[in-house]
Every structure is written in structure tokens, then in C-alpha cells.
Amino acid sequence: MAILTISQEMGSAGAEIGRGVATRLGYTYVDREELLSRAHRYGLVQERLARLAEDRPSWVERLDGETRRYVVALQAVLYEYAQDDDVVLMGGGGQWLLRGVPHAIRARIRAPFPVRVTRLTATLSAQGQERVTPKTVAQFIRRDDIQKAAQMRYLFDVDLNDVSLYDVVINTATLSRGAAVELLAEAARQPDCATTDAGRQLVADRALATQVEMALAGHPAMRRRAIRVESSQGVVTLELPGDADPDIARTVARGVPGVQNVTLRAAEIPIVLSYPG
């Protein structure tokens, strides 16, 4: 079948639509809590995982080599679920991580800001939340929008609202939740979204590359090195900066299950032109 990855704006009903599609298709529904639960198995601190899952690291954390391991762990877990197919993935950067995968449908669920404020205010009020006003909810949504956009920029250097990241963009102010569920479920049933050997291999390659990144990020001599990892059918290529020990990098990569061979290449150094005067 297919992989459905959903990016949502707070108050747009994206989670409800995702659960509805999963129920309709008999898919596994994976939300932020599920991603964090599986990532916790890597021996990482749950509280820090939770915070990095929803916001970019602080400046201090970016200088900490351990931060890289946390970030890559969350991506590794998303790929683990993606390899199973028949899954609805909520958040986690799937719109970028699964780019180019033919059986992945990348959806963005949106609604105008005033509509989102009204909906979330009503939802929180019905839940008995104290001191809920449209003003406080608007501030909450605005902060969430900023955090999500900043996180995507930090992790992947992309604009969260770039339409090229999505195959389907749904405005729930004009399309009902039920209609959105039907639209996405029908798209997932299309022959164009059927899993192929090539598509499955692409996901497997990226999953293996991420596992190698995890191993490198966990090694004392490698965790502070900016190493680009690529994988193709078990052959892993490491793009190393000049200060990285190639022997250690190769040994760490070869120790990851599924790696058949490791090749190295030097990282390209940007050419900076300067002119007199």
C-alpha cells in the first residue's frame, strides 16, 4: 500500500484526520508519543527527546555533540516505521525525510489562523481548561507555528510552508474532516502509490544511512564531526571533513548491521572569493 506522512498546523484538525485515515485503511497510526517511545529504546533521556521533537536546539545544545544523536534518533525511528509501509506518520519531518519516495503521500493540513484559534479555544474550553481565552490560545498557536518553522529550518534548511514538500495541501476551513479523510484514503489506494521494490529500497537506504549517523554520533571521536552519510544497497559512503579520522569513521560504520562496504570521500570546501578594495 502506501506511507502517509502528515504535517499539521495546530488547530487544523490534522491529528483527527490522520487517525481517521488510519482507521479507514487499517494502517498503523504513529504520532509524536509513539515516535518518542520507540526512540527512548536508544537509551536517550525522554525529557530531552520530547523537547527536541518539537523545537530546535538552543545555541548551547548545538555545540553539544550529544544533541546530534538525539536528533538523528528521532529520524531513525521514523524510517523504522516507514519501512513497514501501511502507516500514517504524524510530524517528525516526514515531508522531507520521505521526499522522492513514490509510495509516500506527503500531506499538509492547514486552516486560516482565526479558524484555528476558534477551534482550539472551543476544544480546550470543553476539556475544562482554566483561563482559556482566544487571546491566550492565539499566542499559543503563534508560538507553535514559529517553533515548528524554526525546527524545520534548523534540521533540513527548508521552509515548512514550501509547497514542494507536499503532494497534498488541505484547508480544513473549506474541506470537512470527513472529506479530507476520504481524499487521503482514496489517494493511498491509487496504483501510483503502491509500494515498489525501488521505493522500498530507497527507504531502506535512508534508514541504514541514519543508523550509521547514529553510530557516528555516539562515538567520542566522531560526535562533533559533520559527516554526511549516504547509502545504496548496503554500500555506505562517508563524506568526511578534514579533521575526521578516516580509520575510526570506517570502523564505526562497518559495525552497523546491514553495512556491506564503506567508501570515503573528502568533504568539499566552499570556495570564498575576495576582491581588493
Query: Is residue 13 within 8 Å of residue 109, measured between CB atoms?
Result: yes
What pLDDT tens digit does each residue of the chain (277 aa) get? 799 999 999 999 999 999 999 999 999 999 999 999 898 888 888 788 888 777 777 766 665 667 888 889 999 999 999 999 999 999 999 999 999 999 999 999 999 999 999 999 999 988 877 778 999 999 999 999 999 999 999 889 999 999 999 999 999 999 999 999 999 999 999 999 999 999 999 999 999 999 999 999 999 999 888 899 999 999 999 999 988 999 999 999 999 999 999 999 987 755 444 444 3
Neighbours of 185 (CB within 10 A): 18
Q: Is this structure's pTM higher than 0.85?
A: yes
pLDDT value at residue 253: 97
User: Rounded to whole angstroms, what are the CA distances from 99 to 28, 61, 102, 115, 165?
Assistant: 20, 28, 8, 30, 7
List all residues 6 or more positions away from 134 whose beta carbon is below 8 Å from its beta carbon: 117, 118, 121
Give me the domains of the chain, ranges plus CATH numbers.
3-193 (3.40.50.300), 197-266 (3.30.300)
Instruction: Tell me which DSSP letter residue 2 carries.
Output: -
pLDDT value at residue 46: 79
Phi, psi for residue 7 in degrees, rounded to 5: -110, 135
pLDDT value at residue 41: 83
Instruction: Tell me which DSSP letter residue 201 carries.
Output: H
